[in-house]
Structure 1
Amino acid sequence: MTRIAVILSTSLFLLAGTAAHAQTQSEKDECLLASRNCIDQVDDIYRRMHRLDKEIRKGTRVYSPQELKKLQIKLTETQEELKTLERPGK
């Protein structure tokens, strides 16, 4: 009886871990990260900056350090683009 209980509890533990990992992977915004899954998604520059910042705040619980760096670079580029657009005389 205890053997069955141990097997069932181990199985439940493994399934819960797998579900948590799958959920973490689905929280990534692949469109922002790698320009994938962007069907019918057009953002203005302010919305893009907000979305990038929101994804960066998720941190390492969702993204790898390399992915976070990539998102930070995209945010910086978007901010520079906004500064260029707001410059008078251009």
Structure 2
Amino acid sequence: MVNELVDLVVLGEALGGASWEEISQALKRRDPGTVEGEYEEAVAEWKAAPASAYEGAEGDARDLDAWYRRHREDFDPAAESPVSDLLREG
């Protein structure tokens, strides 16, 4: 379960514009190219999904945004709607 959570966080960060160097550093990994290779297929699939794939996701995204705001730690980004923002960028 933890590995799945890490995968989702990496996917979200990659889609949000973080560099593979930043992601690799956060994962305590040495080679950004290897990390990118592990996730490039998932990132490409997410980016290639048609807009219709996200229909109805806005309500869920708002719920997740609210959860994030309630549980955010001082060191977490101060984003008000990180999940909704990710859907709008796609």
Relative to the length of structure 2, the TM-score reads 0.29
Q: Which TM-score applies when normalising by structure 1? A: 0.29
Max radius of gyration: which structure?
A: 1
- Which of the pair is proportionally richer in helix? 1
